[in-house]
Amino acid sequence: MLSYRLLVAGAGMLATALAAYDSSCSTNVVTYWGQNSWGGGHLDQPDKWEKPLAAYCEDSTFDVINISFLTNFNLTGLPVLNHAFHCETVYNGTNTLHCPDIGEDIKTCQANGKKIVLSLGGGNIFTYGLGSSADGQKFADIIWNMFLGGSHQYRPYDDAVLDGVDLDIESGEHSGYVAFINQLRTYFQGASKQYIVSAAPQCVFPDSNLGTTLSGGWIDNNYVQFYNNPCNLANIDNQWNFDYTSWDKLTKANPNPNSKMYVGLPAGSGAAGNGYLDLTTVQADLAKLYSGYPSTFGGIMLWDASWYSNNQDYVKNLSSWVKSNMKCGSSSPTTSVPTTTSSTSDSAPAYTTIATLPTSSPPVTPTGY
């Protein structure tokens, strides 16, 4: 593990050559690391399981990596993390992981221009929640001190300072998250680095667990999961299922005037129950959405890093296409769309340029869910 990190750290000297997260751009690509979802279905192939965090920071494929997950808030004690097989050592007398290797990888990734964010929540068996403003404020203090710019006896990643928090809230009490965000932002205001607050709602509008948080809390990036639901991207032309316009309006109404929305997608055919599309189709769909909603389009989110390892051509081609076709700032989009059929793992297809649309153009997708 140590020798691997040293090799990657050496590559980090070339950080200026790698793409870096820019909140004003529509070219950002985000992924989640730490759950090894590919490995869950391939227990007999450990050599192909999710790689160490630093392995995903060696090139320009990803700009933000969310470490998943903090699964138990445990407001009466110390929070509990789950990083699959990546870290299983706890501080003595606690259930809180101590992961110095991940801490070193975080610093390596940051040296390469990546933003590394702690994701809270997750699905499946995890139990968590913030049932009041007081709970939210208390938990923000804990997160700041254990994972961000504060200090604490138990810091899971030692002196590594993460770049923010992500809310993948799929259960539990949720009335305290706005207070949680507000309390964190009191710390951010005096900080020397830019912190990210993001959320990952289901595409069903409004999200039953994050609805009030998304409308009342300061959100930088909104990673809408357009998979595992009837509103997945495959139904982009079905007005009864796919509703991008409502998400766009919600993003524009956020207290953060620069809030961005990302299209969340599976990174492999088995990464989600539905929503995985061949490269040609997903590029064409993203071109439509970007042309119709350029002011809020921040990029894409891919679940998860373990599928990148086992579907690398697809993910690299998609990331490269996003970075080549989307823009930064307020410039109007000129987006290339595929003109040839491509399999899910083939190299990038040929493109043709569609007409440039002004930022005031009407949405290209129908309203309604």
Q: Catalytic site residues?
A: 170
Q: Considering Cα of 224, then 228, then 230, then 235, what sign does the dihedral take?
A: positive
Whole-number Å distance between alpha carbons of 68 and 87: 12
- With contact defined as beta carbons under 8 Å apart, do 299 and 26 qualify? yes
- With contact defined as beta carbons under 8 Å apart, do 210 and 199 qualify? yes
Strands 221-225 and 196-199: parallel
Size of the chain, expressed as the number of residues it contains: 369
**C-alpha distance from residue 99 to each of 39, 53, 353 (Å):** 20, 12, 47
- Residue 260 half-sphere exposure toward CB, CA atoms < 13 A: 27
- With contact defined as beta carbons under 8 Å apart, do 123 and 204 qualify? no
Crossing angle of helices 2-11/100-111, nearest 10°?
A: 10
Within 8 A by CB and 6+ apart from 299, the residues are 25, 26, 27, 28, 29, 30, 63, 260, 262, 263, 322, 326
Where is 321: in which H helix or E strand? helix 312-325
3-state secondary structure of 269: coil
Please give the single-letter amino acid code of residue 351.
Y
Whole-number Å distance between alpha carbons of 51 and 65: 13
